[in-house]
Chains A and B, each alone.
Chain A
Amino acid sequence: MEKLRAVHYINQFFAQIGGEEKADHKPEAREGFVGPGMAFNAEFSGKAEIVGTVICGDSYFNENLEMATKEVLAMIKSFKPDLVIAGPAFNAGRYGMACGTVASAVKKELGIPAITGMYIENPGADSFKKEVYIIETKNSAAGMRDAVKAMVPFALKLAAGEKIGASAEEGYIPNGIRVNFFEKKRGSERAVEMLLAKLSGKPFTTEFPMPDFDRVEPNPAVKDVSKATIALVTSGGIVPKGNPDHIESSSASKYGKYDIDGIFDLTDATYETAHGGYDPVYANQDADRVLPVDILREFEKEGKIGKLHRYYYTTTGNGTAVASAKAFAEKIGKELAADGVDAVILTST
């Protein structure tokens, strides 16, 4: 087989041009390998060869994204590569964004296989994991040896057009694509083994990792509730009867915002739940059991709270993606703040 032509993209630091003071270095192409390219070239062991290296300063790239991408792409193309490797960027954020941009542009615009490598928390990883294969690396250049060992066989496999397995087998950052395969042991057996390992304090790998939930600092307390505007938000799916906006009963893609001006009680004639994840009988009989409008009106009248906000927000929480919930919350939060709401009571089922 003929040697594959590989092109390597690196930043000013790995090209030994300089550090932060040289981050505005303009794109530059050099014949052969530079810096970490030497290790890649050795690991290719004759199957591929780095014929050229394209270097760009991280600040220059990110500040002139469109132009820099064009320039870098033209330089890469001039080497007529069969394969492009960007980075690895480890935990360097701007370098990660540059590597992700370059690799995905090479793949999309030149139609040439391209990969990069990054630490899982590099912002470039989240931005580009769905567009290109990103091999997971350690968080600093101390992990270069391991990164090269993981990236080279994967890159050769990709360039050869071989079947790419699941992220857990291949070492790339999960890209959201499920790959089917047969397990040797059936589920019950694996579950019991996992449980036994857990009980005896041994390490085990879950087959269903939970999403990462972020943490926020608690907000300061409301100074005087009797003057506060309180809004109701719920993931319990309470909607005006008939579910006018067709909020899905699970995996909601949207939320509803409804005017409760002049509403003092939710009844079975006016409100119901759209939620498909719990027995809806009790909420359909009396939606105040999930969205307590009746008592908050009472509190409003007694002067216990300033007022109940005119609109409530609702969605169904079952199976709803964390990313969707986060996007809903960003919009809802902005509106509530703009409307002068002081506090929110969020009810969930």
Chain B
Amino acid sequence: MCTVVPISLTVGANRIVPTVAIPHPLGNPALTKEEEKDIRRKLLNKALNALSTEVSEQTVFE
């Protein structure tokens, strides 16, 4: 899970989930605590989906 997807592609990650921002990949201080948690939940659901999806090459899970 990362914000700068081109770096993850360069270093060879196979399952990539794009995130919010460099200093807070899984949160957003502009939102309320609950809204932030909601973002985190959604991103982690994507990550679980990525982990349970077969891939044959580097894949970005938008």
Q: Which residues of B contact A127 (CB under 8 A)?
A: none
Other contacts beyond A222-B52, A285-B29, A349-B3: 12, CB < 8 A: A218-B59, A223-B52, A228-B51, A236-B25, A279-B23, A282-B23, A283-B24, A286-B27, A289-B26, A290-B24, A345-B47, A348-B7
Chain A's closest residue to B11 (CB) is: A213
In the complex, A126 has a CB within 8 A of chain B: no
**B interface: dominant SS:** loop
Binary contact track A283-305/B, C-beta < 8 Å → 1, others 0: 10110111010111011000011
**A interface: dominant SS:** loop
Q: Is the CB of A348 within 8 A of B25?
A: yes
Q: Which residues of B contact A295 (CB under 8 A)?
A: 37, 40-41, 44
Taking CB atoms and an 8 Å cut-off, the chain B residues in 19-33 that contact chain A are 19, 22-27, 29
B residues adjacent to A (C-beta < 8 A): 1-3, 7-8, 10-15, 19, 22-27, 29, 36-37, 40-41, 43-44, 47-48, 51-59
Q: Is the CB of B26 within 8 A of A347?
A: yes
Assuming the contacts A214-B12, A296-B44, asked whether A225 and B23 have C-beta atoms less than 8 A apart, the reply is no
Q: Is the CB of B51 within 8 A of A221?
A: yes
Chain A's closest residue to B43 (CB) is: A292
Q: Is the CB of A347 within 8 A of B40?
A: no
CA distance A295 to B48 in the complex (A): 12
In the complex, A346 has a CB within 8 A of chain B: yes
Q: Is the CB of B23 within 8 A of A216?
A: no
Across the interface, A283 reaches (CB within 8 A) one of B10, B23, B37, B51, namely: B23
Q: Is the CB of B25 within 8 A of A290?
A: yes
B42 CB to nearest chain A CB (Å): 10
Q: Is the CB of A221 within 8 A of B25?
A: no
Q: How many chain-A residues does the 8 Å CB contact rule pick out?
A: 42
B39 CB to nearest chain A CB (Å): 10
Binary contact track A151-179/B, C-beta < 8 Å → 1, others 0: 00000000000000000000000000000
In the complex, A244 has a CB within 8 A of chain B: no
Identify 5 residue pairs between A and B in the complex whose beta-carbon atoms are under 8 Å apart, listed by A's number: A218-B14, A292-B26, A292-B40, A295-B37, A347-B26
Across the interface, B24 reaches (CB within 8 A) one of A218, A289, A296, namely: A289
CA distance A304 to B51 in the complex (A): 13
A227 CB to nearest chain B CB (Å): 11
Q: Is the CB of B12 within 8 A of A216?
A: yes
In the complex, A343 has a CB within 8 A of chain B: yes
Assuming the contacts A218-B55, A294-B37, asked whether A282 and B1 have C-beta atoms less than 8 A apart, the reply is no
A45 CB to nearest chain B CB (Å): 47
Q: Which residues of A contact B37 (CB under 8 A)?
A: 294-295
CA distance A289 to B26 in the complex (A): 5
A71 CB to nearest chain B CB (Å): 43
Q: Which residues of B contact A228 (CB under 8 A)?
A: 51
5 tightest A-B CB contacts, nearest first: A289-B27, A218-B14, A289-B24, A282-B24, A348-B2
Q: Is the CB of A220 within 8 A of B22?
A: no
CA distance A218 to B60 in the complex (A): 13
Assuming the contacts A296-B44, A347-B2, A348-B2, asked whether A288 and B26 have C-beta atoms less than 8 A apart, the reply is yes
CA distance A282 to B52 in the complex (A): 30
In the complex, A280 has a CB within 8 A of chain B: yes
In the complex, A278 has a CB within 8 A of chain B: yes
In the complex, A186 has a CB within 8 A of chain B: no
Q: Is the CB of B57 within 8 A of A218?
A: yes
CA distance A298 to B13 in the complex (A): 26
B24 CB to nearest chain A CB (Å): 4
CA distance A175 to B41 in the complex (A): 47
